[in-house]
């Protein structure tokens, strides 16, 4: 594949993003579902690509239709983007963030940390139980499918796509497509079910703060910002004649990924010469880079806190780069989604999706009121959204529920990520879950995740309820 072909493929992806945005602007139902433009663009690319339009066999009329309306090299390029962009997303996760003490994080966000872990590890329990008791014996589904609910729901499209190589190395080639499909179900279900729950909460008096489900103005519904309300996308911490600020911030992200790469290679080497050689159990050889890139971002931020007296790192610029990477990732993942894999596994896929949805709704409606000490709805709806459709969904639902930020929901949700993201939702355990099941078996990991879920459940019910 030539450099020109790769460049042209990226230009097409940019075009899809703009078209996706204008489709959202012109379609009220998509606005009411709070669907991001990248998701719409990804669906558009999927329909116009080889999995839908390409299957109509129009190549005898239009020679380029073997991959839909797109060149075949564009599909190959897009399929490689998610595993690259996920490293950018996770490396930027803590860059520009103040790293508070563990005590402060626990004081503000302890209940939500526990609730988030209960729901996440519970998704492993539900998935593994379904695979061991039903999907495996009846449909011959791989035990590795027990990890798909948490990977797809809490991890989202990025994590699902980022683990693609791991699935292949573990002999579960269908895993990536199923995980991306579940991530799509999670995003759609999180938005739709979340809005239904918010309206229920209004009618039942569960929400203490004023919400704006119906009071959003036209620009807000379309995802636009009025001219008089716009603010800079980032501050120019350096002069352009020295270095473009955007270039500098890209460099900080690159350093974070390189640190993560070095850590991963060190663990792979250590494993190979110690317990791996002695026991034959290898885990780090199958762990993807992105959770270690997140750790590299934490290290980079710590060093900058100690050495950068000019404060050259700006959170808003980092967020913009992260957002760009996430948009590219989502479009690339959906555009190359293998619908035939989901169709061939439609019953297991549906069972896992329903199991994940029911458990997550149970966690919000039953566990959140008993674990979160105050403003349980405003705080719990963020955890529900994150547990269904990644962090952005949780933030969106919290904003709808508490637009004026009168509750502690947003602050505690933000602090929660410091103790939550490094391990689940795309963190270290999420990345290691598939290799762990492969090495130790589904039953052993079920016992492990079930024990963690039970311990955290008892702790949450009795400690925070006091």
Residue 365 confidence (pLDDT)? 96
pLDDT at 8: 94
* Angstrom distance (rounded) from CA 408 to CA 278: 50
Arithmetic mean of pLDDT over the chain: 87
* pLDDT tens digits, 173-232: 999 999 999 998 988 888 789 888 988 988 888 887 765 555 566 666 666 667 666 667
Chain segment 361-400, per-residue pLDDT in tens = 999 999 999 999 889 999 999 899 889 876 767 876 877 7
202-216, 257-271, 281-295, 405-419: segment of lowest average pLDDT = 202-216
Span 251-267, mean pLDDT?
96
Task: Say what the pLDDT of residue 143 is.
Answer: 96
pLDDT for position 99: 72
Nearest to 373 by CA among 19, 177, 111, 131: 111
The model's confidence at residue 297, banded by pLDDT at 50, 70 and 90, is very high
pLDDT for 167: 92
Average pLDDT over residues 145-161: 91
């Amino acid at each position: 594949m030539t450099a020109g072909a790769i460049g042209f493929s990226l230009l097409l992806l940019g075009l899809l993003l703009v078209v996706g945005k204008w489709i959202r602007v012109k379609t009220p139902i998509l606005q009411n579902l709070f669907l991001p433009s990248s998701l719409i663009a990804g669906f558009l690319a999927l329909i116009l690509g080889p999995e839908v339009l390409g299957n109509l066999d129009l190549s005898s009329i239009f020679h380029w239709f073997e991959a839909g309306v797109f060149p075949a090299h564009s599909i190959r390029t897009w399929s490689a983007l998610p595993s690259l962009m996920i490293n950018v997303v996770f490396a930027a996760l803590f860059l520009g963030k103040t790293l508070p003490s563990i005590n402060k994080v626990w004081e503000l966000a302890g209940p939500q940390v526990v609730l988030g872990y209960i729901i996440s590890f519970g998704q492993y329990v539900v998935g593994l139980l379904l695979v061991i008791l039903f999907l495996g014996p009846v449909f011959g589904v791989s035990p590795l499918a027990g990890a798909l609910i948490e990977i797809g729901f809490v991890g989202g499209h990025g994590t699902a796509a980022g683990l693609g190589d791991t699935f292949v190395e573990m002999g579960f080639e269908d895993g990536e497509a199923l995980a991306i499909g579940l991530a799509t179900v999670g995003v759609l279900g999180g938005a739709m079910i979340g809005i239904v729950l918010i309206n229920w909460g209004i009618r039942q008096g569960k929400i203490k703060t004023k919400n704006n489900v119906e009071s959003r103005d036209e620009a807000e519904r379309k995802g636009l910002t009025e001219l008089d309300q716009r603010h800079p996308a980032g501050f120019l911490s350096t002069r352009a004649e020295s270095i473009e600020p955007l270039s500098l911030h890209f460099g900080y992200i690159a350093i974070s990924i390189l640190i993560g790469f070095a850590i991963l290679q060190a663990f792979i080497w250590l494993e190979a010469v110690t317990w791996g050689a002695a026991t034959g159990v290898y885990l780090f050889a199958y762990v993807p880079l992105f959770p270690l890139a997140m750790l590299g971002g934490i290290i980079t931020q710590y060093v900058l806190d100690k050495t950068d007296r000019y404060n050259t790192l700006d959170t808003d610029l980092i967020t913009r780069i992260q957002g760009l990477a996430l948009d590219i990732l989502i479009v690339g993942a959906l555009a190359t989604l293998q619908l035939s894999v989901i169709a061939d596994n439609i019953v297991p896929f549906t069972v896992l999706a329903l199991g994940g949805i029911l458990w997550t709704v149970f966690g919000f409606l039953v566990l959140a009121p008993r674990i979160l000490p105050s403003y349980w709805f405003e705080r719990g709806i963020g955890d529900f959204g994150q547990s269904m459709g990644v962090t952005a969904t949780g933030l969106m639902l919290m904003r709808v529920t508490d637009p004026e930020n009168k509750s502690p929901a947003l602050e505690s949700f933000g602090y929660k990520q410091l103790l939550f993201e490094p391990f689940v939702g795309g963190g270290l355990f999420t990345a290691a879950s598939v290799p762990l099941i492969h090495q130790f078996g589904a039953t052993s990991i079920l016992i492990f995740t079930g024990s963690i879920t039970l311990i955290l459940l008892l702790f949450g019910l009795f400690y925070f309820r006091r």
